[in-house]
Copies of this chain bind each other. A is one copy, B any other.
Amino acid sequence: MNKPTFQSDFQTPKVTTGPLPSSRKVYVESEAHPGVAAPVRYIDLHPTSGEPPLPVYDPSGPYTEEGFVPDVEAGLSRERQAWVRERGNVEAYEGREVKPEDNGNAAGKYLAREFPVRNAPLRATGKGPITQLEYARAGIVTKEMAYVAIRENLGRQEALKSAQATLKDGQSFGAELPEYVTPEFVRDEVAKGRAVIPMNINHPEAEPMIIGRNFLVKINANIGNSAVASSVEEEVDKMVWATRWGADTVMDLSTGRNIHNTREWIIRNSPVPIGTVPIYQALEKVGGVAEDLTFDIFIDTLIEQAEQGVDYFTIHAGVRLPYIHLTADRVTGIVSRGGSIMAKWCLAHHKESFLYTRFEEICEVMRAYDVTFSLGDGLRPGSTADANDRAQFAELETLGELTQIAWKHGCQVMIEGPGHVAMHKIKANMEKQLEVCGEAPFYTLGPLTTDIAPGYDHITSGIGAAMIGWFGTAMLCYVTPKEHLGLPDRDDVKVGVVTYKLAAHAADLAKGHPAARLRDDALSRARFEFRWEDQFNLALDPETARDFHDQTLPKEAHKTAHFCSMCGPKFCSMKITQDVRDYAGKLGDNEKRALEAMSEEERRRGMQTMSAKYAEVGGRLYVEEEVAEDECVTAGDVATN
């Protein structure tokens, strides 16, 4: 919180609650793992549709339950802690003291209020598996794995039962989307390092989710206060708001003062995994002077955040001294904050980055809490001009090397990707990542496909995000309309999330996710049948859809009208189509064959006539005057009609 407020003035963050329109949250129990139940949002359709409710993935946590009253001062319930404890291999301990520098030495009216409840953190005892990766390798299906299997399966069972034998219709570029996701499939993907379940043992409020190429494409929303704006209250509200619209994870990118306290409020109330970039806070602890950073300060920050429950850390360990000069001729140099901090450190000391040289020590901390690595792309391009250059790919190769080391330590890993990349260079990013990073999940920011549309970078990047998601990226980090210009407010967060949800969904469709089409088809049927309410309710953003309809046709009766504002009541293509359908339905097979023959014959005749004419004029491309004149008679006649 960088806005000054006395602790006594601190308001309990207000968050948005209640179900989305026509939606019910249902907890579906695992058949194989009784007691494990994952949320599914069912969208109820109008009785006239004759269609069952449509299940959709729901990352919004209890906030969207009917009647749920959040206690933001206490945080969400910590149900998953029992799962962690019953597996053993963890111990509760006192935990690190919160130090004044954790909040940037903020005091008085500049210090944000502490979260009221303090929980003793857990950590690995050192005995037996602790991370989801280790359990997976040991052949153990954790409850988290069973949980994500339920979530990922939305509608597949129904789809498989239906007459439409397979909905699978896509180009997967090597992804292997199963017909049905079993807990064992989840375990196997995690064991191979192809998917991560980013669940810090100290974030038991979060609902397990999975990030991997063979699962639904996920999206991340960035929030966080900055040195110049926003408050704890706003950031907690944005976090809940982002998940309401579909954010699968949230990154808290706060800078300035009060990073620690802000983060605690966010984590305790978050139903989704929280990611951070710990070097931001480490830099605050050394007064913003990159060259004063030390490994000790960094690792202490990791522990601080791991104890709080951060689920994944962006660590820019691939920004190596030998790569830094490769960025010198770039149009936009190094644009990653973490990357530029480490670059500055390396140059100031003329030493290899401590994140790289002491990476194994970092792994041990990550493992002790099951914090997932998000290996940061500190040398990502900040403009399309710099895309796919040597600096970027040298770093990616190093991330691949570090992936192997992290895996050796039992840590879960994903890899961050660009950035700004014109369309023709996107696929190479995915291919290179798959090649050098052992199929660890790719997690990209956009990419933006052009630099010329500030104010619309959710769109320039939504294009790139949909494409790279199709090619195999497992999670897409959103970009809001404010990118490059300002801090996103609530509306920007919503627009960013919905844009990325649609991009992720477009990717799922194109990859051939077996159940992705169910929602498109349900909405298309609603549209075709003028079930306006169903069309709104099935939309990613029912409020905006309804509001736009109201702007042209505000009356309630128009919601049941069998026409739309484009064509009006008398003249409607969808209505005419229904007539066509009724008619065509009566056609017998013989008649259809006759039509086909007619089609062929006329086309042949048409083409013959044309060839004859063409031959007649000697195959010349330009038709000479006498021919042109002859052909114009008709036009003349008609013109004087």
Tell me the bound Cα distance from A521 to B420 in angstroms.
12
> Are B602 and A361 in contact, CB atoms less than 8 angstroms apart?
no
Q: A529-566 CB contact bits vs B (8 Å, 1 = yes)?
A: 00000011011110011011101110000000000111
Among A19-27, A76-84, A232-240, A591-599, the stretch that binds chain B is A591-599
> Are B128 and A625 in contact, CB atoms less than 8 angstroms apart?
yes
Tell me the bound Cα distance from A509 to B456 in angstroms.
17
* Interface set, chain A 401-429, CB cutoff 8 A to B: 401, 404-405, 408-410, 420, 422-424
A368 contacts the other chain (CB 8 A): yes
Q: Which residue of B lies closest to A629 (CB)?
A: B126
* Interface set, chain A 195-228, CB cutoff 8 A to B: 226-228
Chain B residues whose C-beta falls within 8 Å of the C-beta of A538 in the assembled complex:
452
- CB < 8 Å: which of B328, B352, B498, B521 contacts A584? B328
A340 contacts the other chain (CB 8 A): yes
* Interface set, chain A 102-128, CB cutoff 8 A to B: 123-124, 126-128
A17 contacts the other chain (CB 8 A): no
Among A7-15, A177-185, A378-386, the stretch that binds chain B is A378-386
Q: Which residue of B lies closest to A334 (CB)?
A: B577
Tell me the bound Cα distance from A519 to B367 in angstroms.
46
Tell me the bound Cα distance from A528 to B328 in angstroms.
13
- CB < 8 Å: which of B227, B385, B621 contacts A517? B385
Chain B residues whose C-beta falls within 8 Å of the C-beta of A321 in the assembled complex:
595, 598
* Interface set, chain A 584-623, CB cutoff 8 A to B: 584-585, 587, 592, 595-596, 598-599, 602-603, 606-607, 610, 613-614, 621-623
Contacts A423-B467, A453-B539 given; does A606 touch B401 at CB 8 Å: yes
Q: A154-180 CB contact bits vs B (8 Å, 1 = yes)?
A: 000000000000000011000000000
A320 contacts the other chain (CB 8 A): yes
Minimum C-beta distance from A61 to chain B (A): 22
> Are A621 and B228 in contact, CB atoms less than 8 angstroms apart?
no
Chain B residues whose C-beta falls within 8 Å of the C-beta of A628 in the assembled complex:
126-129, 134, 410
Chain B residues whose C-beta falls within 8 Å of the C-beta of A485 in the assembled complex:
545, 548-549, 552, 564-565
Chain B residues whose C-beta falls within 8 Å of the C-beta of A592 in the assembled complex:
325
How often does this chain occur in the complex, in copies?
2
Chain B residues whose C-beta falls within 8 Å of the C-beta of A482 in the assembled complex:
548, 551-552
> Are A580 and B327 in contact, CB atoms less than 8 angstroms apart?
yes
Chain B residues whose C-beta falls within 8 Å of the C-beta of A93 in the assembled complex:
639
Minimum C-beta distance from A443 to chain B (A): 19
A490 contacts the other chain (CB 8 A): no
* Interface set, chain A 440-494, CB cutoff 8 A to B: 449-456, 458-460, 462-463, 466-467, 470, 481-482, 484-487, 489
A578 contacts the other chain (CB 8 A): yes
Chain B residues whose C-beta falls within 8 Å of the C-beta of A484 in the assembled complex:
527, 535, 564
Contacts A127-B629, A521-B331 given; does A459 touch B634 at CB 8 Å: no
Most buried by B among A322, A503, A585: A322
Q: Which residue of B lies closest to A547 (CB)?
A: B455
Minimum C-beta distance from A299 to chain B (A): 6
- CB < 8 Å: which of B405, B486, B517, B577 contacts A551? B486
> Are B521 and A576 in contact, CB atoms less than 8 angstroms apart?
no
- CB < 8 Å: which of B347, B394, B451, B633 contacts A583? B347
Provide 7 A-B residue pairs closer than 8 Å at the C-beta atoms, listed in order of the A residue. Answer: A229-B552, A303-B638, A325-B587, A340-B577, A410-B628, A452-B502, A484-B535
Minimum C-beta distance from A199 to chain B (A): 18
> Are A408 and B571 in contact, CB atoms less than 8 angstroms apart?
no
> Are B137 and A621 in contact, CB atoms less than 8 angstroms apart?
yes
Chain B residues whose C-beta falls within 8 Å of the C-beta of A126 in the assembled complex:
628-629, 632-633, 635-636
Chain B residues whose C-beta falls within 8 Å of the C-beta of A334 in the assembled complex:
573, 576-577, 580
The number of residues on chain A lying at the interface, defined by a beta carbon within 8 Å of a beta carbon of chain B, is: 179
Contacts A229-B552, A424-B510, A548-B485 given; does A599 touch B322 at CB 8 Å: yes
A251 contacts the other chain (CB 8 A): no
A283 contacts the other chain (CB 8 A): yes
A339 contacts the other chain (CB 8 A): yes
Q: Report the 5 A-B pairs with minimum CB-CB distance, sorted nearest first.
A: A227-B568, A486-B552, A333-B577, A364-B635, A383-B524
Chain B residues whose C-beta falls within 8 Å of the C-beta of A523 in the assembled complex:
451-452, 454
Given A229-B565, A341-B573, A410-B623, 14 new contacts (CB under 8 A):
A93-B639, A124-B635, A126-B635, A137-B622, A228-B552, A288-B570, A401-B610, A408-B613, A450-B505, A453-B501, A454-B523, A456-B544, A486-B551, A489-B551
Most buried by B among A124, A320, A632: A632
- CB < 8 Å: which of B341, B572, B583, B610 contacts A404? B610
A567 contacts the other chain (CB 8 A): yes
Contacts A404-B610, A423-B466, A622-B134 given; does A539 touch B454 at CB 8 Å: yes
> Are B336 and A573 in contact, CB atoms less than 8 angstroms apart?
yes
Q: A128-149 CB contact bits vs B (8 Å, 1 = yes)?
A: 1100001001110000000000
Chain B residues whose C-beta falls within 8 Å of the C-beta of A332 in the assembled complex:
524-525, 527-528, 574, 577
Chain B residues whose C-beta falls within 8 Å of the C-beta of A552 in the assembled complex:
228-229, 482, 485-487
> Are A171 and B568 in contact, CB atoms less than 8 angstroms apart?
no
A520 contacts the other chain (CB 8 A): yes
Minimum C-beta distance from A577 to chain B (A): 3
